[in-house]
Amino acid sequence: MKQNFENKIESSEWIYISLSVLMIFILFIMSSVDMIYKFITSLNPIIQFIIVNLGLYFAFFFLFKYIAIGEGKSIWTILEGSLANFLLYFSFDILAPEFHITTAGNLIPGGIFGQSASDYFIGYIYQQLFHITGLLLWFLVYPVTFIALFVLGAYLFKDFVKKIN
């Protein structure tokens, strides 16, 4: 018995894929240009996080998605889905290696744009605003913040798929 499976990609998905590939190409160029890299790494970790993580996320999951499927969809629905996706991504990024906080509470920048890493950013905020250090900093960043962001993201995401269809 022959089954006929059609895997068609809608035009909105092609638009999203094309814009994403273009953005990845631009990011590759940006990370290769030493002047841009040095400028971004010279900034405060909060500004780095906003540029690298929030900026990219906004482009990929909000702006590109709205351009691709925005016709006839509420901007608030796409914003809610984008926020839910961001919180889920952010929570899992906290637990993704390389880890930037030791159990002694030391912040360790590393890798490309290491100070813009999610766990470094959260640890930096806890240190600067609340003066939390030591093992408590590690505990608040990894288990507590991960769980809080994951639960909030999952809560916001629960009806997004129904709303978008």
pLDDT digits (tens, 9 = 90+) for 57-102: 777 777 776 777 666 667 777 778 778 888 888 999 899 888 999 9
101: phi then psi, degrees, rounded to nearest 5: -130, 125
pLDDT of 4 strictly over 60:
no
Structural domain boundaries in the chain: 11-158
pLDDT classification of 3: cutoffs 50, 70, 90: low
Instruction: Report the pLDDT averaged over residues 120-131.
Output: 95
Please state the pTM of the whole predicted model: 0.75
pLDDT classification of 107: cutoffs 50, 70, 90: very high
Q: What is the pLDDT of residue 58?
A: 75
Q: What is the pLDDT of residue 5?
A: 46
- Residue (of 102, 108, 109) closest to 137 by Cα position: 102
Question: For 16-64, what is each residue's pLDDT tens digit?
Answer: 788 878 877 877 777 677 777 788 888 999 998 888 888 777 777 777 7
From residue 98, give the alpha-carbon distance in Å to each of 45, 78, 109: 16, 31, 10
Give residue 89's Cα distance to chain centre: 5
From residue 94, give the alpha-carbon distance in Å to each of 17, 78, 123, 152: 26, 24, 10, 15
Q: What is the pLDDT of residue 132?
A: 96
